[in-house]
Structure 1
């Protein structure tokens, strides 16, 4: 169970952002741009090179070669486009690394689609720091100085470094240094060659003391940053090292660009399962289907997976919202996008689906691709892109998301995964994030919170909407609202979402409906113009919608709305018109709109319409005359749908008859007109255009000679003109009549040469976009000066017998009650299907087993006092029973069980022989845990074991198997052929010899106390692995790279693989418990999110944790660790728990750990100091049994701190703490404090509890003590 498709994740528009960043699709575009700029600046560069040759050279300090290209000219793009944003800035001394490592790194970054600035030292004239260079540093997201032996001898390099440090301190840039052939200490303290370099600078007396001190300070600052130390890795090839740097940079950029909500809840579980399905075999093509109801998280999961996999693919494509897009623009348009994205060419001319299929088969069959088909509705949608797996190269990975599981039942799809709803804990977490802006509710809010999550029914969107709405309401009104909302059926998603809609004011409702029907994917600033002249206050209204999670604004400032919220709005429109199309205020389906337009009846209520072009019968004047109140018209189509005689209303004026004055006032309320793919002969006539504020003619074939330009003269109120992708447009029209124009979009007009000088008259113009206009040489300077945006290139203990009259009862849940006895009359409940019995019951009446309608029986005892269970022989006659779960129950005999069983869990079986389950052929989950027998083994004699019975071969449908027994010896050696569907395997036993061959379908494996272990490395879908007290486990066996979670408990374990970071790149959780002989940790995977160390008594060092940028939870207990070292702050660390660390004397400053919420320090008797300040994000602070600690950082600035516990710290001055405001919970005392339970023990108990509640899909982990 994991997070779902939350509105904070801007789905459709976000996918476009993701693809542009990670698909490397811009390589060719940037290459073309650079080629054009090189041709333009060739003469200037020649003159500058001549000037350079006249200089005295680098030795006199006038040229340092800070970052150069050598013979290459690609790095000179700063000269032509200093306003361009860069992703990486490389600073290096040319003669040292230009032709070797720097060239490797630059090429690797370029191939990864990372826009990298590499300055050419030959363009520097004199010593003045060029403004272009300063601008490039400021506009680069990541700054990489490459420290070589001669770096400090270059004043240019040192100047750049000073600027980099300033940018990092003042902005959001990050410095990641590379120590090429020098040690970090030489850089930081200016020793060796760096000392000599500064001595040379001093002798030349060209720079004053302040300048050189600035240089030294910069070297000291950057030298202390944890980066890459190449000088100690002489055996590594520079090309491989460059690739590693590129991957690190790639991850940094993705973290910076991805629009990820800070209110996500538990995403890794479901992502890990799908990653395991995809596998790690580079040559195996895999097609995976993700299905589930709308709004449950399919698209979001697909994006996260793509994020993780994209760095391994050169060719990526994310086709978002196929269901909706195919209705409006057709499948051929999406095929065109796929081909363009993979081949990295401009859009091709494909007019139909069949042509697209042939093109994909022919041109992409040798391409290893990462492809996502998002929101697919029909089987033919899949066939149009992936008719066969050989349409793409070997090793391709294809992910399909859909609401309709049926379309995935085709031979091409290897595996499917159903996205699950949230459980109670996850629901509570997500709800609290929005209702309280914290992880979990306070105790006083728990009752109301439980009511809220019950209403939401585990749907993330409903949780978010309800939480956001309650956040804006006084708590004293919550009960009334919650009681009102309880009337809505929990399974009715639309009714749940309508809660927020009903809370809106009238004008906010109208704006919401219009967005849901027509404005998704449009820019917010553009949409606002549509209502600008009204009294709707669109900006404020959209803020309300966003705050209530009814819409979001993505990174591109485009409107995004969750599918279910969108469908809510559209359903409201239908209901308002009593489902009569001609009475609707908005029609968004082009097919429905076409039929509606041809009806003779007048549509006075219609305000917005989306049409698809019909070239068989062009639109007539009468069609639009019946739409007097239409204010939004979008005409969709595709290339090739027009004829030469096309005119919007050519039937309206046959024989070239000019339209009358009455005709020219057609659609008098029109404010937004979007018309795409119009040819140069197409004419817009008869429409009243005087009130149009938004005109979108994108992707049209019009030229500067198009007759429609003259008709635009009447558009005095035009605010937005979109001519993007008009590839035949060479010059823009005259804009003098559009004096109120504010946004002009000319992006992707590849043949645009000139912008009309009349643009200088547009005094209100705030945004001009000419991105990828290859032939446009210049912009009017007056325009540039005025622009704001320029985009350039219960209490009773028993149940009475009288309740036996409840014969209609279908479910009895006696969990967590004080009931100790069930009535014998329970056998009369003939309709009972589910029985859940809790820990207080000591005996089960025999009449229970006689109920033949029972489908599920759960009995959970207590670890200390087991429930005595005697299973009646009559249970065999129950043909409806699907699940039997007896946990912590004393079982001394098991009768013959019914064949209908699918889930069987028997915990604490006391039998001298192994039970017979040979008839349970439908079993999918089997868990058996045997208690100790009285057979002499306790008194020191030999323990009599027994092999696994052969009936295991009958259970071919088994998906989960868990066996705990100290008497089980042998297991079938080839488990893969016996249990081909097995996904989860847990084997624990001191005499057990594990099978040698395991099913490749396994995703979770847990082995405890086994004498031998199988080959784990051959499990391509394994993501969770656990070893417990395995006596022969001194080092880890070979592991598959798909692992996400690794948990180890072993007294014999002495080491972990030194190359763990490369062997397990996806690992996000590492737990080491009771490993007393483990002395050190290797470099850990950068993806690690949770780190737990407990009882590793020989572990004295963690190393530098700075590379663990995703680390969110750290728990360290009973270890010999003497320091926590982080040269860079852990930006995602939320919880730091330290306990029983006697060697720990200081904690480093945590002031820049901006996500840290809880800090717990317990039983660290030698801790003297917590350095620096604590972060503003801190909410909980616990300091216990730290007797040497004398002082804490000042807590008064911590406005979010809500809970402070200080226990048994006799030397600590608590005056400053006691002065904290009364709102904070502050506790002092000298009583002994210990962790009652470790985090892992709490998680294990929760897992057991959840399983006993019936969540059979969870993986049970038990306390083995």
Structure 2
């Protein structure tokens, strides 16, 4: 018999049907539509679904055949999102079919039933049966190609599943929509999806709402539940399945049970959630399983290149296996680090735990300090153990016997970190496993590695801060070794023969103070890319690295007894030679055509530079800071396009070369503390790319006329556009009395630093682009009236920019009551009111979008000193920020509209002298939280105007030192709820740096815009 049968009778059956069949079809069609409505209603109210659905539907193009792929980790909400889209758009299609759990149907050998359902839904014939496993008849394909259909294939794991279900994905008519959900991103590429969307985890607001719905049957937690919620949500990290699971497990339990269960969340493996998620792990091949478990137990959050290097030494094809884990949403890359959701780490570690729940010595991997302690101190190690990673800070000390690792012959990964003298090997160490690929032992206590250890397979050796004097005697087979790190091993006196380490890429001996000589074998390592001998103070000479053609980075900073410039190949890109005893730079340096960074800072014997510096065409950063004997900088005889950062601070230069204009790409020029520098060349004005100019502490440089005359010659008007590219200007510790008025002509200037300009008396009108002004310790400063224009601009700014205006006038002892002049015209541009205090200026600041203040040590602004009969309510400047809201509500509509057009403020910060919280604060608390009950009328019409402003204040005590830098970080969490629904949770962190010898009051105002 033929495997399937079809003839013209099938077509007749489709066209001519008895009445009973037609009635059945109508009834089923009605029931189907009712079911769709019910299912659609069930999806309403699902946290986060509606927003994501609208986001994706907005991308659909009418008339196109769209193939949408949704991928992500298990439990992230792919199926719910596909369902929501399905019911949102299904009315626009002739037929539709939702095929759920494709992977499970294949595993249960039931995929043919799913295909039958698909054909029945689309062709509307329940009797149509195609028994061939791989072939769909051509007439069925033709019918499919004429239909505009909506199909969802949920949880697809293999391309072959598509081929079986309907012979490919491109079988439908114009305007059709096919949605595929999968854990494996690669499947979507294979199927030719033209729109791929990664399902996103819930944000913190959605997470807490979903958790509270399942744990407490409410939309927000009460006080004691807030801590529980934070712990669970930190672990679930936005995964809806995990949030619902943990929330449901807490529902109906008493407080003690809930608190106990949450504390055990990460420590005790949960078999229920393990069962839910185990299928993703079971679908991996053996190598992928091992890599997944290694990452879960040891390498989460580690550098991707590092993990790949270790995994490639342990398993075949590790690089591609890691890529597969990424595609299957089990791991992901963030800032070149391998990351894994906490849930998957929990799953991986649970799998290892259940290898032997009561006997850790028979598990494959150990990471729990207490278990490792027991295994090592009792010498219970076995061949089963392949990896040990121990955080020694969790143990007081660890005393090992010489045979501690004798039985662990298959140990591949051994890492002891945060040791700091906690590991004791009083009787020595007889052996380490020869199968080791990665050996990291911070603070290794012995003078050498065991003589019986043969590191044939070792890929990375990390023994920073160790007591090693030399690694081993004689020559070892090191063919797989790629990285050696003995940083800060202060007892190290010699490096062994490394000639057999032909694959060695990185060597780090930074801070090995007693290391005197380097082996000549280093110069023959053809794959070596990084050499770091920084602060090896005993090194006096170096071998030639001219033949090490792969070497790109050489670090020798702090080698204070190194007198000779190193010989390197032209492939070197970075040379760090700061703090060495080098007296001259050889002319041959011009041959380093790939050199991008040359650091000679602190080379106090260096007197001059070769004339061929301009030939370093790749040079991007050149640091000569604190070269205290450098008197001249050579002429730049040719254009240097790439040099963008030049630091000449602390030199004894008397002048800059007139050819500085050839540095056409220069962005950062630092001339700090150049006490012999008197003037700047006119050619400086032609540096079109210059963004930052720093002249701090160059006390003999004439800066009063910086923008109007240099070298006693007027600056031509045509030069001004080039200077206008400046974004940051630092004139700190100069002796200028007044800034030139032409500073306002530089519209890109954002930062102006005037710290410790002791003679500065006033500020001119500043450029409107300014966002940061630091006038700390300008003890003669009396007039800052010009800053009011910055307020006006900030107040009525409508361009939507995210500016944060910061003004610092700390230690400005003369900045007092009559320092401002005219008030800001906050309401009416035709009227200007004369005021007598900076406090009235502050009164308007509440409406600024973002504004930071620091008025520390301005004694005339002390909250108690400013009280007077005329201003009885104005106890401190910040009170104006609160009372201004009331004034605004009483203002005429014309005034309100001007403010409404602006983006109303979020946060304003100030600091003034004081020792107590103001009396006028309505709500006070000595704890770390405070509840504020808002009046019911705040959510009325024009709610944007009625939403209140909050002012938080804290009193901080400082040490008795005027010169002490004291930094404070204030973190706040504001949770807003209404009618039982969580509206917003806002986190704000503010950092202050102050120089106070007494108690100060620190305040911040937060205004939340109601939507």
Pairwise TM-score range, normalised by the shorter structure: 0.3 to 0.5
Query: Given the two structures, how large is their TM-score scaled by the length of structure 2?
Result: 0.40
Using structure 1 for the length normalisation, give the TM-score. 0.33
